[in-house]
Amino acid sequence: VWQKRPGLNGGAQRVPVVVVHDHFPDDIEQQYRRFGGLLFFVQGTSLSLRVLDLAQYHRARCIVIMSGEGKTASERLDSRTLFTLMTLDYILPKHSATFVCCALNADENFKLLRAPPIPRRIGVQLGESSAPVLRGADDDDDENDHHDDREESEKDHGHAAVRERDGGQQRGGRGRRRGG
């Protein structure tokens, strides 16, 4: 986010980041002063619509919701993350370009999420490459033993990394919004 990177027009803009959390150290703004004008801190809970408004969720390109990482079991529950995610799903326009993703502690909670209207990654399973397998010159030349690796790759990895249940159709994957 902070470094210049190539974009379609030769250079991407540096994107402002808003961090929402219950508590920040007193010197947090001093620690991150070097990012002047691009990093903002909103103290409060992401469960509050007022706090989400202060963070300007409606203008965001991407919203990342981190799961609890506390020391006690109640601090590690996904309920807060899921509630925030479902709230954003409700208040953002149906075909919003805002990408919302979250980290969850328990994989079984992914079944509680609906598919994003505009998935970011199509044709790739998370953690896998969709690149075709290249054969070397020393490989067996018998055409009967080989088939098109690209076609096989598309069969194995051609589904979205999210599950879509729009109009009764379903595409493979394990859940929604695990990564961006």
* CATH number for the domain that contains residue 64: 3.40.50
Full domain range(s) for residue 48: 17-112
Q: Does residue 123 lie within any of the structural domains?
A: no
Q: Does residue 89 lie within any of the structural domains?
A: yes
- Indicate if the pLDDT at residue 80 is higher than 70: yes
- Indicate if the pLDDT at residue 126 is higher than 60: no
Taking the C-alpha atoms of residue 90 and residue 5, their distance in angstroms, rounded to an integer, is 33
Domain count, the chain: 1
Return the pLDDT at 122: 52
Tell me which range, 16-25, 61-70, 127-136, 160-169, is most confidently predicted by mean pLDDT. Answer: 16-25
Q: Does residue 169 lie within any of the structural domains?
A: no
Return the pLDDT at 155: 39
Taking the C-alpha atoms of residue 127 and residue 104, their distance in angstroms, rounded to an integer, is 16
Taking the C-alpha atoms of residue 149 and residue 26, their distance in angstroms, rounded to an integer, is 56
Q: Does residue 9 lie within any of the structural domains?
A: no
Q: Does residue 22 lie within any of the structural domains?
A: yes
